[in-house]
Structure 1
Amino acid sequence: MPNNSATTAAQFIVEEVILKYGVPKKLITDQGTHFKNELMDAITSLMGCKHVFATTYHPQTNGQVERFNATFYPQLAKLHDENVNHYDEYLPACIFAYNSGQHGTTGYSPFQLMFAREPVLPFDQPTSGITLAKPGDYWAQITQLMKIYKISNIISQQQLSKQRYDKQRADPTYHPGDLVFIKQLGKRPKFGELYSGP
């Protein structure tokens, strides 16, 4: 984007998101003035899209974007020429590389999840021009299978993350006579003590 004005941001949302992929159910943005304005309110209202603002100083609100940025910025930095500020020329190639790479969490590339096929890369062997007839619901079946496998892969990754976390965590051991805090369960005043103890 040439600048971060409200008009440019709104134009990008319409042309690069809505007209290419359809209207999202929810649009999550930061609280920049280019997103927090009457023009953006009018667009999201007209399109029937809920506009949600990420909480300031709470990157977890927009976790997928933060994770993307953590991967994306180092790639862009490798290509960036310190003497010339033309990083925007490398953006499409970096985004395509990110989108065509397999992600450990889902087991698929974002491209494959979006289009139900792998991208054709410049170094791939050309395929024959023969196409086989497929049943009418072929793409629906493929998409459904990918969704099932994606969910399965996410659950597997969550379990793996839990196992890694649990390995690092030692269960506490208590002995008779040890002083401990006891968590107060049930109703308590808003600013009341959370624990009672020695």
Structure 2
Amino acid sequence: MIKIQEPSRSWEIVHMDWVAGLLPGGDRIYNAFLVIVERFSKTPIFLPCHQDDTAMHTALLIWDRVILWTGLFINIISDRYPKFTSAIWKNLHQLFGIKLSFSTAYHPQTDGLAEIMIQTLEDMFNLLPALESAYKTSIHSSTKQTPAILKKGWNPKLPQYSLRKDLL
């Protein structure tokens, strides 16, 4: 099992993991996303992608959307996902001097940061219907009406929820 060092500043160490197998629907054309969590501040970045993207495409996506903004990482911690173990990926790490550390299977303490973020995202997805309902029944600043009134002519009668933590 790898020993995880603590970073001294943002974007030195990142955790990466994949969420794949999403069903495309509506306007969503992606079926996966890459989760990157910066270890120092716990800042996440979510990169929509396709499950069958190549290792080179993934590396270019990270370069364009993350590294050009954050600078080079010192260490990337990830599982042994095939995109991260390919020859192209290894060559890029050598070229830029980035250490690639693989987490140990069934030891989430080595890559738990990305796993926790994925669980948080799953929880958020489960709340989307309630959030959508709240938005549709809230007065919009430009129309001064709720979207429900403008679409249907009335607001649905919904239960009033308190913000008690035991309901979340």
Shorter chain as denominator, the TM-score bin is 0.3 to 0.5
| The structure with more strand, counted as a fraction of residues | 2
TM-score by length of 2: 0.44
Higher relative contact order (CA 8 A, sep 6+): 2
TM-score by length of 1: 0.38
Task: Work out which of the two has the higher radius of gyration on C-alpha atoms and give 1 or 2.
Answer: 1
